[in-house]
Amino acid sequence: MLVEFEELQRAQSGDDAAFNQVVLAYRKRIMGTIARLIGRPEDVEDVAQEVFLRLYYSLDQLRTPEVFEPWLYRLTVNASYDYLRKQRRRNESRMADLSEQAVMMADAAAGGRENSERKHQLKVKELLDSLLGTLSQEDQILLKLKEVEGLSLKELEKIYRVKENALKVRLFRARQRVLKAFAASQNLKSSDTED
Amino acid sequence: MDSLEQQLNSLFAAYRGAIPEPEASSDFMPRLWGKIEAKRSFVYRLKKMSQLAVATALAVCLLSSILINPFTQRDPQLAGTYVDMLAEAHADETVAATGGVRLDLLDAASQQ
């Protein structure tokens, strides 16, 4: 826990200063998770604000402070998923997105890093995003939480309120699909180099 | 396949590093509190409006019951059932007027 139980309880009872402290303690972590889940740096702050807005209006429903972190993660996952769903509805051009993302990534990564490193990072991101594109948005988020965020199955169980075995099956299937797409992309790459 | 698995694992690890940790802008907290206040005032307005609507509905109910009540009060002459009205109109033909039926006479008739 990044905040004391007492602070959380004060925030629950309507203490705005305590809520401020909770936001400040978790803001960086939540924004990092959102950035990896939605993949659009320019919208991370808006989604994070939505998470904390939902937190403010539902904090009184939290029964025990022990479950606060999984609960906050659940709010984050839901807000990210809502964002991705809205994005899909907007039906924006994927190519435009990628170029905009590339610019944002380059801007964000700027500051001392070498150009080649940035290029490599962009390549990694684009490759994994295209591999994850073979999955549904729900499975993309689940797999990212496990593989990129490094959450354990126990933690995922608390966030999703789903039995561990069901999560294991879902994760295994998602990973197999990504692996298949990865194998196909590697084959394509090797055939390109042969030509 | 194992090497592919390992490559995928390292790709996931590299992905985490490829996405820079975003920094919150300086107006993050003021914007958040602005949204909280806006929602709070919206909820407050909604609550007030619903209270007003309930109060108005109650007043309309009360007023309409006051206005409609005199019309539902029947004329005493019209009160009562159809049989009562008939009995009242033909008072001289009622059982009371003819003195009633003697039960002993009825019994004698049935024995014959």
Beta-carbon contacts of A80 under 8 Å, excluding residues fewer than 6 positions away, are A33, A34, A37, A38, A47, A141
Query: Letter for the amino acid at B28?
Result: F
pLDDT value of position A107: 58
Distance (Å, rounded) from C-alpha A180 to C-alpha A142? 18
CB contact under 8 A, A182 and B11: yes
pTM: 0.70
Chain B touched by A186 (CB under 8 Å): yes
Q: Locate tokens 């490559």: which residue?
A: B7
Q: Are A56 and B36 in contact (CB under 8 A)?
A: yes
CB contact under 8 A, A52 and B19: no
> In which domain, by residue range, is B66 found?
26-111
Query: Letter for the amino acid at A76?
Result: T
User: Which ipTM value was assigned to this complex?
Assistant: 0.77
Look at residue A151 and give its three-state secondary structure.
coil
pLDDT value of position A110: 54
Distance (Å, rounded) from C-alpha A51 to C-alpha A144? 18
* Residue in B16, B31, B35 closest to A36 by CB: B16
pLDDT value of position B12: 92
Chain A residues within 8 A of B8 when measuring between CB atoms: 175, 178-179, 182
Report, as ranges of residue numbers, the positions in chain B whose pLDDT lies below 70. Answer: 1, 71-80, 93-112
pLDDT value of position B82: 78
Total structural domains within chain B:
1
Q: Is position B11 within any domain?
A: no
CB contact under 8 A, A186 and B11: no
Look at residue A186 and give its three-state secondary structure.
helix
Half-sphere exposure of A38 (CA within 13 A, CB side): 28
Spell out the per-residue pLDDT of chain A, length 195, in tens: 888 889 999 999 989 999 999 999 999 999 999 999 998 888 999 999 999 999 999 998 888 888 899 999 999 999 999 999 888 777 554 545 555 555 566 556 555 556 788 888 888 889 999 999 999 999 999 999 999 999 999 999 999 999 999 999 999 999 999 999 999 988 877 776 665
pLDDT value of position A95: 46
pLDDT value of position A88: 78
Phi, psi of B77 (to 5 degrees): -70, -30
- Domains along chain A? 1-91 (1.10.1740.10)
Q: Look at residues A133, A136, A105 and name the one whose alpha carbon lies nearest to residue A118.
A: A105
